Structure 1
Amino acid sequence: MQVNGWLPRTPLVPADARAIPPNLKKSTQVRRTELTSWLSALACLILLSLCGCDRHDPASSSASGPTSTTITALIWAPDWPEEMLQIAAEFSKLNPDIHVNVQFMIGNSVEENIKPRIASGNLPDLMSLNPNAYAADLADQGLLADVSKTSAWNNMLDPLKEDWTSRQSRRFGIAGGVATTLIYYNRGMFARAGIKELPTNFNEFLAVCEKLKHAGYTPIMWNGGFPNMLGNGPFSSGFANNVVAREPDWKNRISDGTLNLNTPQVADIFAKLMLMPERGFVQRSFMATGYDDGITQFKEGAVAMAFHGSWAAGLLLHGNPFDVGVFIPPWNAPGKQVVPVIGSETGFAVLETPNKAATMRFLEFIAGQGFSIIQRKRQNIPPFKHPSGTVVSDLKIVDYTNMVSRYSVTGSPYYSALPSNSIERLHRLMQDVLFRKITPRQAAKFLDESVKNEAKMHYK
Structure 2
Amino acid sequence: MRRIEFALLLSGLVTLILMSLSGCHQQAPSSASATAPARTTITALIWAPDWPEQMLQIAAEFTRLNPDISVNVQFMIGNSVEENIKPRIASGNLPDLLSVNPNAYAAELADQHILADVSGTAAWNNMLDPLKGDWTSRQSRNFGISGGVATTLIYYNQAMFAKAGIKQLPTNFHEFLMVCEQLKRAGFTPIMWNGGFPNMLGNGPFSSGFANNVVTREPDWKRKMGDGTLDLNTPQVADIFAKILLLPERGYVQDEFMATDYDEGIRLFKEGKVAMAFHGSWAAGLLLHGNPFDVGVFIPPWNAPGERVVPVIGSETGFAVCETPNKAAAMRFLEFIAGKGFSILQRKRQNIPPFKQAPGAIVSDQKIVDYTNRVSRFPVTSSPYYSVLPSNSIERVHRLMQDVLFKKITPRQAARLLDESVKNEAKMHYK
Q: Which has the higher contact order (CA 8 A, sep 6+)?
A: 1
Write the distance in 1 (CA, Å) between the matches of 2:36 and 2:127: 33
Task: Give secondary structure in 1 for the equivalent of 2:244.
Answer: helix
SS at match of 1:430: helix
1:258 to 185, 208, 229: 229
Give me the TM-score of the superposition, normalised by structure 1: 0.86
Does structure 1 residue 334 correspond to structure 2 residue 302?
Answer: no
Aligned to 1:149: 120
> 1:74 is aligned with what amino acid?
L
Equivalent position of 1:228 in the other structure: 199
Do residues 210 (structure 1) and 191 (structure 2) align? no
Return the alpha-carbon distance in structure 1 between the equivalents of residues 339 and 146 of structure 2.
Answer: 13
Equivalent of residue 333 in structure 2, options 357, 362, 365: 362
Structure 2 residue matching 1:325: 3-state secondary structure: strand
What residue is the counterpart of 1:403 in the other structure?
Answer: 374
Query: Please, which of 210, 235, 243 is the counterpart of residue 239 of structure 1?
Result: 210
> Aligned match of 2:92 in 121, 136, 143?
121
- 1:440 matches 2:411: yes
> For the residues of structure 2 that align with 1:426 and 1:349, how far apart are their CA atoms?
25
Quote the residue 1:323 is aligned against.
Answer: 294
Read off the aligned partner of 2:47 and give its amino acid letter: W
Paired amino acid for 1:148: S
- Are 2:417 and 1:453 aligned? no
How far did residue 152 of structure 1 move? 0.1
Q: What is the distance in 1 between the residues matched to 2:56 and 2:429?
A: 36
The counterpart of 1:184, out of the listed 155, 168, 171, is: 155
Matches within 5 A, 1:14-413: 65-66=36-37, 68-413=39-384
Cα gap change, 1:287 to 1:195, in 2 (>3 Å): same
Provide the C-alpha distance between the structure 1 equivalents of 2:294 and 2:349, rounded to a whole number of angstroms.
18
Change (3 A) 1:372 1:445: same
Per-residue CA deviation, residues 286-326 of structure 1 (Å, 9 max, x unaligned), is 00000000000000000000000000000000000000000
Match of 1:9 in 2: none
Offset from partner CA, 1:327-368 (integer Å, 9 cap, x none): 000000000000000000000000000000111000000000
Q: CA deviation at 1:65?
A: 4.4
Structure 1 residue 197: deviation in Å? 0.2
SS at match of 2:398: helix
Rounded to whole Å, the distance in 1 between the matches of 2:305 and 2:159 is 27
2 CA distance for matches of 1:293 and 1:376? 22
- Taking structure 2 as the reference length, the TM-score comes to 0.92
Aligned 8 A contact 1:67 1:96 in 2 = no
Distance in 2 separating the partners of 1:208 and 1:66: 64
Q: Whole-Å Cα distance in 2 between the matches of residues 111 and 359 of structure 1? A: 20
How far has the Cα of 1:116 moved from its partner? 0.2
Q: Distance in 2 between the 1:440 and 1:424 partners?
A: 17
Distance (whole Å) between structure 1 residues aligned to residue 278 and residue 290 of structure 2: 18
The Cα of 1:458 is off from its aligned counterpart by 1.3
CA–CA separation in structure 2 for the residues paired with 1:446 and 1:238: 17
1:67 CA drift (Å): 5.1
* Percentage of pairs with the same residue: 84
Name the CA distance, whole Å, in 2 between partners of 1:66 and 1:197.
Answer: 64
Give the RMSD, CA atoms, in angstroms: 0.7
Encode CA deviations 1:270-301: one digit per residue, 9 max, x unaligned: 00000000000000000000000000000000
User: 1:361/1:328 Cα in 2 relative to 1: closer, same or farther (>3 Å)?
Assistant: same
3-state DSSP of counterpart to 1:320:
coil
Cα distance in 2 between the residues matched to 1:251 and 1:352: 29
SS in 1 for 2:340: coil
Contact preservation (8 Å) 1:218, 1:282: yes
Report the CA distance between 1:415 and its aligned residue: 0.1
How far does residue 413 in structure 1 lie from its aligned partner after superposition? 0.2
Query: 1:93 and 1:427, CA in 2 relative to 1: closer, same or farther beyond 3 A?
Result: same
Partner secondary structure for residue 223 of structure 2: helix
Write the distance in 1 (CA, Å) between the matches of 2:85 and 2:271: 35
Instruction: Supply the AA of the counterpart residue of 1:403.
Output: R
The alpha carbon displacement at 1:459 in A equals: 3.4
AA in 1 matched with 2:225: I
* Distance in 1 (alpha carbons) for counterparts of 2:224 and 2:63: 45
How far 1:391 moved relative to its partner? 1.1
Distance 2:164 2:100 in 1: 42
Matched residue, 2:385: 414
State the shift of 1:66 in Å. Answer: 4.6
Contact 1:65 1:96 in 2 (8 A): no
- What is the identity, as a one-letter code, of the residue corresponding to 2:247? M
User: Does the CA-based 8 Å contact 1:66-1:96 persist in structure 2?
Assistant: no
In the alignment, the residues of structure 2 paired with residue 209 and residue 187 of structure 1 have an alpha-carbon distance, to the nearest angstrom, of: 14
